């Protein structure tokens, strides 16, 4: 009986242990399912940066939450998610550009905010670059989408592109900002040459050229150039002793310049090259230097008193005045004397047209009568010059060294 009781007790303990092991295993299985469930939900959460960087177009997804009905309703904690109102992407980003080339970057912005009043752009970081149209206006291309194109120029082999920060402001004054990170771009420098003008252009047109004697040893050359997608502001002739751009007019992708260069008079041909961005080849431009006696309105013409036509004009006027004087002596008609006096006064006025003028110290003399004309001389002290011509707010003067320049009338009034 005692052995039977011990057997029953042993069997009871064995059953209790088996039951405990069973439920322990059961609980462990339930825990594994829950771990797996939470693990699956965690894997479904995608970071905003990874997601939006995966596509140029912003998209919106609906996240599904997997919950165990036995656990009740799960509340999603969204306190860590920042509200994003601007989505930026590149619509156009050239992978390869040349040093000093004008190239375009086109950006798209999708704005989720309502009642957008203003969109502004700032450029963050980068080095040795120029944004040539910082004030470019954003254009609406869709319901909530906008685009803008910026023209950029990289000026050094050590340059790097900036990131682009876009800020939107709605009618209530609320602002939202987002930054579009810069991207890698291959930069190529063209081989230097004594003929390379440093210009890269999709289209290049030499509209006109004029050559004129500058002094006893030099000629002055004036070029009018029009180009598209070009850096005409860098135009240079490496072999010119003195040169400059007297006017530069820009309109979006088109430029027009007036350029001058002073070359030795023994140079009989002008040659230079530019790089054609369409064909990726150097194009050569050349023309003979032919000195003309005709007057060019935009050039520094020679002293008009040295012209043979001027001499013949003075002789003719004086001869006519003398004829009227002889007729007056013979016929005693007053109008003949009047005509003789008028012609004489006009001849004297023409002859003395080049009246003297004293310039004060630090007066600026330009090579052409244009607003942005290059300054080629500045008086170090008072200087006596001759006035040759007045035109469009400028006065042409003859310097003691026989060179001719232009000075603003506004500067003369302060003289």
Residue at token pair 């047109």: 205
pLDDT of residue 74: 33
pLDDT of residue 40: 35
Cα separation, 98 vs 284, in Å, equals 19
43 CB-near residues (< 8 Å, 6+ apart): none
pLDDT of residue 308: 52
More confident residue, 23 or 222: 222
Topology classification of domain 86-188? Immunoglobulin-like (2.60.40)
Cα separation, 169 vs 296, in Å, equals 53
The pTM score is 0.57
pLDDT of residue 309: 56
86-188 and 354-415 have identical folds:
no
Cα separation, 178 vs 82, in Å, equals 12
Residue 223 contacts residue 237 (beta carbons within 8 Å): no
Structure confidence at residue 377 as a pLDDT band (50, 70, 90):
confident
Q: What is the DSSP annotation of 140-207?
A: E-SSSEEEEEEEEEE-STT-BPPEEEEEEEETT--EEEEEE-----EEEPPPP-TTEEEEEESEEEEE
293 CB-near residues (< 8 Å, 6+ apart): none
Mind listing the pLDDT tens digit for each residue in 296-339? 333 334 444 445 556 677 788 788 888 888 888 888 888 888 88
Cα separation, 75 vs 152, in Å, equals 49
Mean pLDDT along residues 44-49: 31
Cα separation, 365 vs 352, in Å, equals 22
Mean pLDDT score of the chain, rounded to an integer? 76
State whether residue 64 is helix, strand or coil.
coil
Topology classification of domain 354-415? SH3 type barrels. (2.30.30)
Token representation of residue 45: 């959460």
Lowest-pLDDT choice from 82-91, 111-120, 305-314:
305-314
Closest of 269, 281, 260 to residue 369, by C-alpha = 260
Structure confidence at residue 101 as a pLDDT band (50, 70, 90):
very high
Residue at token pair 């003195």: 242
241 CB-near residues (< 8 Å, 6+ apart): 218, 262, 263, 264
Count of CB atoms situated within 10 Å of the CB of 311: 11
Domain extents in the chain: 86-188, 196-288, 304-342, 354-415
State whether residue 44 is helix, strand or coil.
helix
Mind listing the pLDDT tens digit for each residue in 333-343? 888 888 888 88
């Amino acid at each position: 009986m005692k052995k039977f009781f011990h057997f029953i007790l042993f069997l009871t303990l064995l059953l209790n242990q088996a039951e405990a092991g069973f439920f322990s295993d059961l609980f462990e299985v339930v825990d594994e399912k829950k771990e797996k469930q939470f693990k699956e939900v965690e894997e479904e959460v995608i970071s905003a940066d990874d997601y939006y960087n995966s596509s140029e177009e912003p998209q919106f997804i609906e996240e599904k939450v997997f919950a165990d009905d036995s656990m009740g309703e799960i509340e999603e904690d969204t306190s860590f998610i920042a509200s994003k109102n601007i989505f930026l992407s590149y619509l156009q980003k050239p992978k390869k550009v040349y040093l000093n080339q004008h190239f375009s970057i086109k950006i798209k912005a999708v704005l989720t905010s309502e009642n957008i009043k203003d969109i502004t752009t700032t450029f963050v970081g980068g080095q040795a670059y120029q944004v040539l149209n910082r004030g470019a206006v954003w254009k609406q291309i869709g319901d909530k989408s906008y685009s803008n194109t910026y023209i950029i120029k990289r000026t050094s082999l050590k340059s790097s592109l900036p990131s682009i920060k876009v800020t939107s402001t709605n009618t209530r004054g609320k602002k939202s900002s987002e930054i579009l990170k810069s991207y890698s771009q291959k930069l190529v420098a063209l081989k230097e040459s004594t003929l390379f003008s440093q210009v890269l252009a999709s289209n290049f047109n030499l509209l006109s050229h004029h050559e004129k004697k500058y002094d006893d040893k030099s000629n002055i050359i004036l070029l009018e150039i029009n180009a598209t997608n070009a850096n005409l502001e860098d135009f240079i002739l490496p072999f010119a002793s003195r040169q400059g751009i007297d006017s530069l007019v820009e309109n979006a992708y088109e430029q027009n310049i007036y350029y001058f260069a002073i070359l030795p008079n023994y140079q009989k041909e002008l040659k230079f090259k530019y790089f054609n961005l369409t064909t990726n080849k150097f194009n050569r431009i050349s023309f003979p230097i032919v000195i003309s006696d005709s007057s060019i309105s935009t050039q520094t013409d020679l002293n008009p008193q040295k012209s043979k036509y001027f001499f013949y004009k003075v002789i003719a006027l004086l001869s006519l005045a003398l004829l009227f004087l002889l007729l007056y002596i013979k016929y005693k008609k007053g109008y003949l004397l009047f005509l003789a006096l008028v012609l004489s006064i006009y001849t004297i006025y023409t002859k003395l047209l080049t009246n003297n003028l004293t310039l004060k110290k630090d007066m600026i003399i330009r090579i052409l009568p244009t607003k942005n004309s290059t300054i080629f001389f500045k008086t170090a002290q008072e200087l006596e010059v001759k006035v040759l011509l007045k035109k469009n707010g400028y006065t042409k003067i003859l310097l003691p060294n026989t060179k001719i320049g232009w000075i603003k009338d506004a500067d003369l009034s302060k003289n």
